[in-house]
Chains A and B, each alone.
Chain A
Amino acid sequence: MIEYFKRHPDKVIEPLLQHIELVLITLVISIAVTSVLTVIAMRSERVSRVMNNVLAVVYSVPSLALFALLIPVTGLGRTSAIFVLTLYNQYLLLRNFTTGLREADPAACEAAKGIGMTDMQILYKIRLPLARKAIFAGIRLAVVSTIGIGTIAAAINAGGLGVLLLEGLRTIHTAKILWGSILSAGLAIIINRLLKLVENRM
């Protein structure tokens, strides 16, 4: 295994970097999309519930099936992967964002309304800062989930650590399988730990 890395360092490092890139791009797009959805969801309890239910159904579709379904639409490659991963993230992010914002100190929100803040001002000035921990927890979950599901994206040519796993499995190449699994699991565990540390400081 170490031998394999010494001989082909690029074949290990490149998928790792690709994977991190995939996760980062997905994360940025996901947060942007969720922010818009959150503002919509905060306006009405009912809309929020419908959105959550729809996203829960989407989330329950196995990732390989969803990737396959999208090939006719967005084709093979990274765009499809980012699309699917963003879709999955919406469930994790939106639920955490809206719950955190809704459950922000009710007395503070009531007082804010009573002294004459608009709903938007309450959202940005009171709820958002008070919900930052829940929001950050949602982001952490989404990152870890993206790292995991992202390995399957290799099946539609999106690159990343999944490439090592798939190739390794096809050719029964133990070193590749080990590098693929250790790096993807390690990445998820380390990032989770780091983000958890930040979260606890908030």
Chain B
Amino acid sequence: MSVIIYDKVCKRFESSKGYAVDHVSAEIGEGEFITILGSSGCGKTTLLKLTNRLYDPDSGRIMVAGKDISSVDPVELRRSMGYVIQQVGLFPHMTIRDNITAIPALMKWDRKRIDDRADELLSLVGLEPSEFRDRYPHQLSGGQQQRVGLARALVLDPDIMLMDEPFGAIDAITRLNLQNELMRLHRELGKTILFVTHDINEAFKLGDRVMVMNEGRLLQFDEPHEIARHPADDFVSTLIESARSQEHFWTENEE
């Protein structure tokens, strides 16, 4: 069953000539890990932001869990999805616990429930609650901050997670760890994940299926090995070639 359906979705911005998102149609099944791959300006972030109504489409429809989201209150919609961004965007004046439970606090959960949920999520993302809950964001490393960002996105136990290059600003080794843990979380929690990245290796490693985008258009949407075997057009082949040539570099060095 499709949990997200994009139906000929278009979006253009006043400041630019072409479409940011150009007649994108796609269906995403429940529990799928979808990566959206493309270079900067290809519309992948716009597509993500259309999904939780940070933008509204100029034409076309987006259905989430059977409902046209244009009729859903944006705040309600966003609370029903997790949202993680590259810059993390933790609230610098709040402790880690208050960061994670900012929305539950606004929803007037009682103190005990808030504290328990914060600790539960800290453990889930691999941070020791007693050590981290009372710290402030600036006392954490980039990788730790993004773990908190992930915990914050999970706090209301959403069925869908939207992630906009969450590991883009994180060093290679930490990124590898975070990728593996995200895959573990996906297996454990069974959430539908939309994950935007410009890194083909990351996209192919994480995604059950990969959306390849360029200039606002969805060029190909398939499983990684299918894309590698049958690239839909020249752009996708070039992308695959570029990744292959890098791989070559490593194997040659080993010999």
Interface residues of A (CB under 8 A from B): 105, 107-118, 121, 125-126, 129-130
Contacts and interface: CB of A to CB of B under 8 A. Distances in A.
A11 to B, nearest CB: 48
Given A115-B152, A116-B103, A110 B78 contact: no
Nearest to B105: A125
A115 B93 contact: no
Given A105-B92, A117-B102, A117-B106, A111 B83 contact: yes
Given A107-B85, A121-B106, A125-B102, A114 B91 contact: no
A89 B250 CA distance: 65
Contacts of A107: 85, 87-89
B212 interface: no
Interface string B75-97: 11111001101011111110000
Interface in B90-127: 90-93, 102-103, 106
A114 B106 contact: no
Given A108-B90, A115-B153, A117-B106, 20 more contacts: A105-B89, A105-B91, A107-B85, A108-B91, A109-B89, A111-B83, A111-B91, A112-B89, A112-B91, A112-B102, A114-B54, A115-B82, A115-B103, A116-B76, A116-B79, A117-B102, A117-B103, A125-B91, A130-B92, A130-B93
A111 B90 contact: yes
A115 B83 CA distance: 6
Interface string B143-186: 00000010011000000001000000000000000000000000
B214 interface: no
Nearest to A130: B93
A125 B77 CA distance: 20
B35 interface: no
Given A108-B91, A129-B93, A114 B103 contact: no
A115 B91 contact: no
B220 interface: no
A185 to B, nearest CB: 37
A113 B54 contact: yes
A131 to B, nearest CB: 10
A113 B77 CA distance: 11
B192 interface: no
5 contacts: A105-B91, A107-B85, A108-B89, A115-B79, A115-B102
Contact of B78 (A105, A116, A125, A129): A116
A88 to B, nearest CB: 31
A67 B76 CA distance: 52
Number of contact residues on B: which range applies? 20 to 34
B52 interface: yes
Contacts of B88: 107, 111
B85 A116 contact: no
A110 B89 contact: yes
Interface in B37-74: 52, 54
Nearest to A121: B106
A114 B149 contact: no
A120 to B, nearest CB: 11
Nearest to B83: A114
Contacts of B52: 114
A115 to B, nearest CB: 5
B89 A111 contact: yes
B85 A111 contact: yes
Contacts of B54: 113-114
Given A107-B85, A115-B153, A121-B106, A126 B75 contact: no
Contacts of A121: 106
Contacts of A115: 78-79, 82-83, 102-103, 152-153
Given A107-B85, A107-B87, A125-B102, A114 B93 contact: no
The 8 closest A-B pairs by CB, nearest first: A111-B89, A116-B79, A114-B83, A107-B87, A107-B89, A116-B78, A129-B93, A108-B89
A40 B82 CA distance: 30
A110 B85 contact: yes
A105 B138 CA distance: 13
Given A121-B106, A125-B102, A114 B85 contact: yes
A108 B92 CA distance: 8
